Chain A
C-alpha cells in the first residue's frame, strides 16, 4: 500500500511537470523575467549611452509630477481604448456575428472572411493602405469618393479627427476577433431554442434579446477584458499611420513609453512608465475578473489527472 502511495505521488509530480512545466517556463521567460528586468531598469538612470551611474527613484518622481505631457496622453488612451471597445471590438463584432449567422451560411462566411482580411494582412501593408485612404489631397481614396465623386470639400482625417482615426484603424482589425468568438458562441446555441422562442411568440429582435444575448454573456466579458488589455499595450498601427501625431494628438500611453525609451533614449524613464502599464494591466485584469465573474468562465477540468 505504502509503495502504491509513493508511486502515485511520484506520478503526480511527474504529471505536474509534464502538464504545467512548459507553461511555467514560458511564463517565466516572457512575463516574469522581463518584468524583473524592467523593475531593475526603472530604478536606474539609464540613458542613451546605456550606462547606469546610480540607483534612484527620480523616474517615478518625474512620472508623478514632472511630465506635463502625461495628462493628455492618459486622456487620449482612455478615449482610444473605450472608443474602440464600445464601437468596434464589442458592439460591431457582436453585430457582425449576429448578422452573419442569421443570413445564409455562404453569404455569412463571405462577410466574415472580408472582415478578417485586415487582421490577416501584414501590418505595414495595412498601414500603407490607410495612409493612402486618408491622404488629405484629392488623391486619397476617401477624398476620391467624397470630393471627386460626391463633390464634398477635401477631408483630412488625420488633422480633423485624429482620435477617431486611430479608433477606426484599430477597430477594423479588432472587430474580427469578437466576431469570430461571438459567431462560434452563437453557433453553439441549440437551434431548437430559436424555434421554441419563435413558437412562444418572440419577434426577431426578441429572439436576439432573450435567446442569443443571454448565451453570450461570457464571450462578451471575455472579449471586453481581453481586448481592453490588448488595446492598452498595442500601438503598432498608430505608430505606422500617424506616428502619434499630429503633434501628440494620437500618442497613446504605450506609444509614449516607446517614444520616450527608444526615440529619446530615456530607457530608465521608459521602464518606469512601462512598469506603471504592467501595474494598470494587472489591476484592470483583476478587477474585471471580479466584476465580470470571470471565474465562471473557467470550467472545472473534464478529466481528473492523478
Chain B
C-alpha cells in the first residue's frame, strides 16, 4: 500500500550517530526483515519511518511524497514496539480499540474490528484484562493487534515475536505473513532470529553500526555475502574464518598451502567456510576432535587443525567421532568464500581448494 524510499536518511544525537546516511527502497506490499547486532540502528530506523524521530538529514518518501515533516499520527503506520508499549490503565480491548477511537470510526464498526483482530492474534479470551495481567507473549500479541487494527499502509515490527515460545512463534510468523499478504501491507520486521527473517521476508537488510551492509534475498546473504561482517553475522553456527596471506597463486595459512582455483588475489586474505560445508573424509586436512556438541538432528564438532579451529556440522545419523579422535576434513572449492582483509569485501569469483 506504500512504496517507501529513503534517500541519504540519517539520524544522530549530538556526536552519537545512530544511522548513517542511508539509501533504501522498499516496494509496495513488500516484506523486508532487518537483521543486525544490538545497537546498530534498527529501532532508530523504524522510529524515523513511524515519524517518532525526525531524520537528521536526507529525505523520506511514502509513495513519492516527502514525509519528513509529516507527524506520526498522519502517516498511518502501525508499529509494534520492542517493549510492547501497551497502555497500562486500559484493558486489552481498549488498547486495541484506541487507534480506532482516535480515528473516530463508528462505534459498532470499531467494536467488530477489535473482536476480529483480537481473535486473529488469539487474545480474544483476554479482552477484559489489563496489560499487567498478561504474560510477555500475550502482551506482544495484543501489541500486534493494536498495530494491525487500523489497517496501516506501513507495518513496523520491532522484534514482535521475541517473547513467544517456539511453537507459538512459528504460528504467529505464518499468521503475520499471510495477513501481510492478504492486506498487502508494506512491512518491515526487525528481528534477531535469522530463521524468522529468512522464512518471512522477501528481502533481508543486514545492518551494522548504523549502515546497511547488504540487502538481498536470504540466499544472497548466505551464499554471496558482500563483506566479512555479513558472512560472520549470517548463519548459525557462525562461519569458520581463517586468516592467510595470498601469493604465487595460493593462499598460505601458516605452512599450509591452499591453491586458488579461480582467479587469484594478493595480500591479506581471509578464507571463510561454513560449518555445514565441511565434511569428514579419508584424506584431506588433518585434525583432531576438540569438542562434540550434539544439537539434536545435527552434531557440531570443534576441530583442531594446523590452520586453526574449525566447527563442522554433521547430521547426527552419520558416524560419531569422540573427543581426541583423528579426522580428515574436506571442503569443495565452490563453498569457499574469500575476503580482502583491508577492505573487508568479498573477492568475487575467487576460490581455493585443498591441495
Contact B81 A202 (CB under 8 A): no
List of A residues within 8 angstroms of B81 by Cβ: 192, 195-196
Residues of B within 8 A of A (CB-CB), count = 25
Whether, in the assembled complex, A151 has its beta carbon less than 8 Å from a beta carbon of chain B, the answer is: no
A134 to B70, CA, bound (A): 49
Q: Identify which of A196, A198, A201, A217 contacts B87 (C-beta below 8 A).
A: A196
List of A residues within 8 angstroms of B87 by Cβ: 193, 196-197, 210-211, 214
9-residue interface stretch from B11-19, B95-103, B344-352: B95-103
Beta-carbon contacts under 8 Å, A186-226 to B: 190, 192-193, 195-203, 206, 210-211, 214-215, 217
From DSSP, what is the main secondary structure of chain A's interface residues? Answer: helix
Contact B73 A202 (CB under 8 A): yes
List of A residues within 8 angstroms of B253 by Cβ: none
Contact B85 A198 (CB under 8 A): no
Contact B72 A199 (CB under 8 A): yes
9-residue interface stretch from B46-54, B181-189, B214-222, B274-282: B46-54
List of B residues within 8 angstroms of A201 by Cβ: 73, 99, 102-103, 150
A206 to B103, CA, bound (A): 12
A200 to B152, CA, bound (A): 10
Whether, in the assembled complex, B148 has its beta carbon less than 8 Å from a beta carbon of chain A, the answer is: no
A196 to B158, CA, bound (A): 12
Contact A215 B88 (CB under 8 A): yes
List of A residues within 8 angstroms of B88 by Cβ: 193, 215
List of A residues within 8 angstroms of B77 by Cβ: 199
Contact B98 A199 (CB under 8 A): no
Contact A196 B102 (CB under 8 A): no
List of B residues within 8 angstroms of A211 by Cβ: 87
Q: Residues 95-114 of chain B: 1 if any A CB is under 8 Å from the residue's CB, otherwise 0?
A: 00011001100000000000
A196 to B73, CA, bound (A): 10
Contact B52 A195 (CB under 8 A): yes
Which one of B52, B77, B90 has the highest number of Cβ atoms from chain A below 10 Å of its Cβ?
B52
Contact A200 B71 (CB under 8 A): no
Contact B47 A198 (CB under 8 A): no
CB distance from B113 to the nearest CB of A (A): 14
CB distance from A131 to the nearest CB of B (A): 46
List of B residues within 8 angstroms of A210 by Cβ: 87, 98
Whether, in the assembled complex, B146 has its beta carbon less than 8 Å from a beta carbon of chain A, the answer is: yes
Contact B52 A198 (CB under 8 A): yes
List of A residues within 8 angstroms of B319 by Cβ: none
Whether, in the assembled complex, B160 has its beta carbon less than 8 Å from a beta carbon of chain A, the answer is: no
Whether, in the assembled complex, B246 has its beta carbon less than 8 Å from a beta carbon of chain A, the answer is: no
Beta-carbon contacts under 8 Å, B59-84 to A: 71-73, 75, 77-79, 81, 83
- Considering the complex, give the chain A residue whose CB is closest to the CB of B47: A195
Contact B73 A190 (CB under 8 A): no
- Considering the complex, give the chain A residue whose CB is closest to the CB of B94: A210
CB distance from B156 to the nearest CB of A (A): 9
Interface residues of A (CB under 8 A from B): 190, 192-193, 195-203, 206, 210-211, 214-215, 217
Q: List 20 A-B contacts (CB under 8 A).
A: A190-B83, A192-B83, A195-B50, A195-B81, A196-B85, A196-B86, A196-B146, A198-B71, A199-B50, A199-B73, A200-B98, A200-B99, A201-B73, A202-B102, A206-B102, A210-B87, A210-B98, A214-B89, A215-B88, A215-B89
14 new A-B contacts at CB < 8 Å, known A193-B88, A215-B89: A193-B87, A195-B52, A196-B79, A196-B85, A196-B87, A199-B73, A199-B78, A200-B73, A200-B99, A201-B103, A211-B87, A214-B89, A215-B88, A217-B89
Sorted nearest first, the 3 A-B pairs with minimum C-beta distance are A192-B85, A201-B102, A214-B89
